[in-house]
Amino acid sequence: MTLDPDASALVLVDYQTRLLPSIHDAERVLQHAVLLANVAREIGIAVYGTEENPEGLGHNDERIRALCDETLVKMRFDACGDGLAERLGPVRQVVVAGCEAHVCLLQTALGLRSRGYDVFAVPDACGSRRERDKALAMERLRQAGAVLASLEMVAFEWLRTCEHPKFRHVLQRVKALPA
């Protein structure tokens, strides 16, 4: 199964200002999420953000907020319970990334899977306080039928061809990202 740019959306879960300082390797996770969102926007793929109880955890980092077409405020760990699936429109594939990987990201991805979406998670753009929790979340997502994919896999599947008008620009962005 490959990503179809005409049937995809990107969901960025809870990159919130009061949560990020607790996330392992938060700046690297955030850099990957920002690049993922930039690529999506360049190709014309809708980008949705979520914020869990922003009065308590703050809003998403401004770099994420600026790239989202819409941000859903939620109180449930699974954003689908607060209307995410209804906002996605006719897409059937959802690329997800976010924090905390083993709570809100996991439950949102499982919620999307239970509603029939093909889910692709980007581990480098996901974070938890503890590395072990993130690793378990990725394993659980894989067991639930989600596809784990690198940022480059997602970007080049969305582009489909080196003849895409955005290919060179996306390639430059991807090459500039620290390993």
pLDDT, position 176: 86
Cβ-proximal residues to 13 (8 Å cutoff; 6+ apart), any chain: 49, 50, 79, 96, 97, 98, 99, 104, 105, 108
What are the pLDDT tens digits along the chain (179 aa)?
899 999 999 999 999 999 999 999 999 999 999 999 999 999 999 999 999 999 999 999 999 999 999 999 999 999 999 999 999 989 999 999 999 999 999 999 999 999 999 999 999 999 999 999 999 999 999 999 999 999 999 999 999 999 999 999 999 999 988 76
Q: Which domain holds residue 13?
A: 5-176
pLDDT, position 11: 98
Count of domains for the chain: 1
Max Cα distance, the chain (Å): 46
* Alpha carbon distances (Å) from 149 to 66, 83, 120: 24, 25, 6
Q: What's 54's domain CATH number?
A: 3.40.50.850
Residue type, 130: R
Whether this prediction's pTM lies above 0.95 is answered by yes
pLDDT, position 167: 96
Residue recorded with tokens 């199964």:
1
pLDDT, position 178: 73
